[in-house]
Structure 1
Amino acid sequence: MNLFEVVKASINTQEAAQAYGIDVNHYGMALCPFHNDRRPSLYVSDDHYHCFACGEHGDVIDLTAKLFDIRLYDAARKLASDFHLAPDKPLPEAIRRKKKHNTKAQQLRENEQLCFSVLNQYRRLLLDWEKRYAPQAPEDVLDERFVEACHRLPWAEYQLDILLQGDSYERSEVVSELTADGYIRKLQTRPREERYHE
């Protein structure tokens, strides 16, 4: 393995970002250091980063090079030094096990982010339905979308609150419920179905 491969296999982007002073929240979002960011627009995962505002993106080596304004090779050397790696030796068993564990943790985080994103879209759809399909007179037949909005909006907001403010156990429970039987994927299609019917 060359220096670049060892660094990428051993250090995840989120670890490096936090080690170099970027405060990443549990959704993987942070204030972008590459522009005047007021709201977190930088997404940092285990293997890459991407800013939704300024478009900066790359892997752990790109991030380090950009942060310290150094060449990629120097960034890889800095990471190897800061994280005590020996590029000419095979990866230790502890790191291989950690990478396997990171993959599980990464999957959990990705599921959590998917659930949050889909629920947020669904909530916006329900808010729209609540206004758009509200009965205009007492004798009007209730539109099924208005009824769904009345029933499901409190539920969606409660789930979002847990994903935003709950502890790791509560969040994982919500994610388990939402991902069971592909429920979150079905919810994901609701806005598209609505556009199709319009």
Structure 2
Amino acid sequence: MNVFDAVKQSVTTRQSAEMYGLKICRNNMVSCPFHNDRTPSMKVDNRFHCFGCGADGDVIDFVSRLYGISRLEAAQKIASDFGIFYDNKPVKAKPKKVVRKKSNAQIYAEAEQRCFRVLSDYYHLLKKWEIDYAPNKEDEIWHPLFVEALQEKSHLEYLLGIFVFGEIEEKALLVMEYGKEVASLEQRVSKFICREAETGIGSSQ
């Protein structure tokens, strides 16, 4: 057990306050040593809290502030003064998680892949609508999804062709142009795909 754990499990702030000369009043109240306290405004028990200046913490924080020393020095002082035994091995700091930021190239590559995937899913959905919602009779009113398929399919073929055969500049321009629409289109496509998986055929908008 390291010195911090050993001290906090063995000594309360009240005990340390009494050890270091503070007079404890009723209800565990004491004059705060950290500001000009005319009336006892600090409560000490396992921890401490001053209702006047807001000082707050555990027994190690209390002794650290009282003597103007580091938390390690405070813990070692308490352990020495109270005769507390502990493992004298140095306390290892927890390694900090390193958050790697994505490069601009990675951010663009992800945006391009997402745009291509969403447009590709939409294109396949349009092809399905063209078949599923084709009118059976010449005078039948065309379904809105069938109309959308006729209007958008050739344009989607053109866009996907740019992703497959276009130059880098053309792809980048396309990603910039359709980047804002991809999120809403992705939700719409996903909704239709889920619905058609459940029913076996698309439903009207």
- TM-score band (shorter)? 0.3 to 0.5
More helix by share: 1
Q: TM-score, normalised by structure 2?
A: 0.44
Structure having the higher Rg: 2
